[in-house]
Amino acid sequence: MAESNSTEDRLRLHIEAIERLEEEKRGVADDITERYNLAKAEGFDTKVMKVIVKLRKMRPDDRREMDMIVDTYKNALGID
């Protein structure tokens, strides 16, 4: 019986830790949304900002490869 309680206690600790992290994640997401709203209020294009944030996360080689592929697709579709 003691082993069962120990397993249940460990499971409960994991679940509670995950719940706390999920709450922190919601808080961070709210902070990010607020920051985009502030930038938008100052006249910045938040769609473009989100693209830039995504690009900055990428490694330079991956970014160059993506740019080449996008250019290839654009050329194939006649997009300038």
Question: Contact at 8 Å (CB) between 46 and 40?
Answer: yes
Neighbours of 40 (CB within 10 A): 13
Could you tell me the residue ranges of all domains in the chain?
2-77
Q: In a 3-state reduction of DSSP, which class is residue 58?
A: coil
The pLDDT of residue 80 is: 84
Locate tokens 């690009």: which residue? 55
**pLDDT recorded at residue 67:** 96
* pLDDT (0 to 100) of residue 2: 61
pLDDT of residue 51: 96
Per-residue pLDDT, 4: 72
Spans of the chain below 70 pLDDT? 1-3
